[in-house]
């Protein structure tokens, strides 16, 4: 019986298939859009804890489901549960600060009055040009700014501080997806490589770069930021600064920005102590900030991030700020990751032979 050769798709059929693929992909993205944050963090958990899964697998006789469950339990204890507890405490403290600002119990202008009185006359006259020595105006500006900051933090932490149905659902989606990605991630990666119409070497570079970037951002940047925020918050708590947890969270967020980082918080506070006569507090905070908080960034970040995703500081800074502006808190991870992938794709394009680029 004669065999018939496979039907070769015509150009029209190829275009129709590509249009259909784009349409169903767009619809799928539209359906998943409400949970993109949960999907992103589930994927990140799977990527970060995949080495642990591979370490546990032979010890559990290559039973993938128990190994994935144990890996997810460790991730839950190390990452998810501490985040929930911090969110609860943060929501409570942010709410208290907001209430004190609204009632007038907290008056930030009073603290700055003593600071301005301690400044040299030349500095005071220079600030007077901008109207910054008018304490009624200053009080209004500071109160408005702190009210907006505390309200923003309280609203962001409310989903964690209050166990709402939406928050529980998002955590469930994150952990559920992370379990299957941990257990079946190798097979999914092979399927993805077959579907990407690129040369195997380019596929390996892109997928490898993506995994390295995500792990580096989470293990390096986020871990260093959390540690710097913790160290700064402990120092503020020890020195009796009100709202130490809020300052700690702010330092952790700012630590994600290169070159500036947590110094945007602890340096002005140290100067405030020094100018208002609290010399030992100012000197102690300065020494702690330079010798401990600063060294954490200088020593741990290169060790954890490594040299594989070296990007200029200005690229990291702009991509982080842009990611936050577009994607919210998820942009702290996605911004640098997209920037690194952008650099990787253009590197592949630049290294490709000229005839393949038209």
Average pLDDT over residues 184-202: 74
Domain ranges, ordered by start, for the chain: 35-195, 199-358
When mean pLDDT is compared across 153-162, 166-175, 232-241, the lowest value belongs to 153-162
pLDDT at position 355, please? 45
Own/partner long-range contacts of 185-192 (Cβ < 8 Å, ≥24 apart): 185/46, 185/50
- Whole-number percent of the chain with pLDDT over 90: 5
pLDDT above 80 for 350: no
Report the C-alpha gap between 248 and 89 in whole angstroms: 12
Higher pLDDT residue, 58 or 121?
A: 58
pLDDT at position 274, please? 81
Q: Which residues, at least 6 apart from 267, have a Cβ–Cβ distance to it below 8 Å?
A: 289
- Whether the CA torsion 156, 159, 160, 162 is positive or negative: it is positive
pLDDT at position 223, please? 79
Q: Band the pLDDT of 66: cuts 50, 70, 90.
A: very high
Q: Band the pLDDT of 5: cuts 50, 70, 90.
A: low
Average pLDDT over residues 83-90: 74
pLDDT tens by residue, 196-223: 676 777 777 677 777 777 777 777 777 7
pLDDT above 90 for 51: no
Higher pLDDT residue, 340 or 62?
A: 62
Q: Which residues, at least 6 apart from 252, have a Cβ–Cβ distance to it below 8 Å?
A: 225, 226, 228, 229, 230, 262
H helical segments located in 105-222: 108-118, 121-128, 135-161, 165-195, 200-216
Per DSSP, the three-state class of 134 is coil
Per DSSP, the three-state class of 42 is helix
Average pLDDT over residues 160-165: 55
Q: Band the pLDDT of 356: cuts 50, 70, 90.
A: very low
pLDDT tens by residue, 313-323: 677 778 877 88
Report the C-alpha gap between 119 and 122 in whole angstroms: 8
As a whole number, the mean pLDDT across the chain is 75
pLDDT above 50 for 358: no
Average pLDDT over residues 154-181: 72
pLDDT above 80 for 44: yes
Report the C-alpha gap between 272 and 276 in whole angstroms: 6
pLDDT at position 336, please? 79
pLDDT above 70 for 290: yes
pLDDT above 60 for 357: no
pLDDT at position 272, please? 79
Average pLDDT over residues 163-169: 70
Higher pLDDT residue, 248 or 309?
A: 248
Give CA torsion, residues 290, 295, 296, 297, to 10 deg: 90
Average pLDDT over residues 102-125: 60
pLDDT at position 132, please? 56
Which strand (E) or helix (H) includes residue 327? Answer: helix 313-327
Whether the pTM exceeds 0.85: the reply is: no
pLDDT at position 74, please? 92
Q: Band the pLDDT of 161: cuts 50, 70, 90.
A: very low
Q: Which two tokens stand for residue 223?
A: 């871990």
CA 126 to chain centroid:
38
């Amino acid at each position: 019986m004669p065999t018939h050769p496979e039907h070769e798709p015509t150009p029209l059929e190829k275009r129709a298939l590509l249009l259909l693929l784009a349409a169903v992909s767009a619809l799928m993205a539209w359906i998943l859009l409400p949970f993109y944050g949960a999907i992103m963090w589930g994927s990140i958990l799977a990527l970060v804890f995949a080495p642990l899964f591979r370490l546990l697998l032979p010890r559990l006789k290559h039973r993938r489901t128990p190994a994935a469950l144990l890996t997810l339990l460790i991730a839950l204890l190390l990452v998810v549960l501490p985040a929930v507890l911090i969110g609860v405490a943060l929501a409570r403290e942010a709410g208290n600060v907001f209430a004190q600002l609204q009632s007038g119990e907290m008056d930030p202008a009073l603290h700055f009055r003593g600071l301005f009185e301690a400044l040299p006359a030349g500095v005071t006259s220079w600030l007077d040009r901008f109207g910054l020595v008018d304490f009624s105006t200053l009080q209004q500006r500071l109160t408005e700014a702190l009210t907006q900051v505390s309200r923003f933090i309280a609203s962001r932490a409310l989903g964690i501080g209050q166990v709402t149905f939406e928050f529980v659902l998002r955590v469930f989606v994150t952990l559920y997806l992370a379990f299957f990605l941990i257990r079946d991630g190798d097979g999914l990666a092979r399927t993805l490589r077959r579907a990407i119409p690129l040369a195997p070497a380019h596929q390996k570079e892109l997928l490898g770069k993506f995994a390295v970037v995500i792990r580096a951002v989470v293990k390096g940047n986020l871990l260093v930021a959390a540690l710097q925020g913790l160290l700064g918050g402990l120092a503020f708590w020890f020195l009796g600064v009100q709202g130490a947890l809020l300052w700690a969270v702010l330092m952790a967020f700012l630590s994600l920005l290169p070159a500036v980082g947590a110094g945007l918080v602890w340096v002005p506070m140290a100067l405030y102590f020094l100018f208002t006569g609290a010399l030992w507090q100012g000197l102690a905070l300065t020494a702690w900030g330079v010798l401990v908080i600063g060294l954490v960034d200088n020593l741990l970040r290169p060790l954890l991030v490594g040299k594989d995703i070296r990007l200029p500081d200005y690229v990291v800074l702009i991509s982080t700020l842009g990611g936050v502006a577009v994607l919210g808190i998820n942009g702290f991870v996605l911004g640098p990751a997209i920037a690194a992938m952008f650099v990787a794709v253009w590197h592949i394009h630049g290294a490709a032979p000229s005839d393949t680029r038209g």
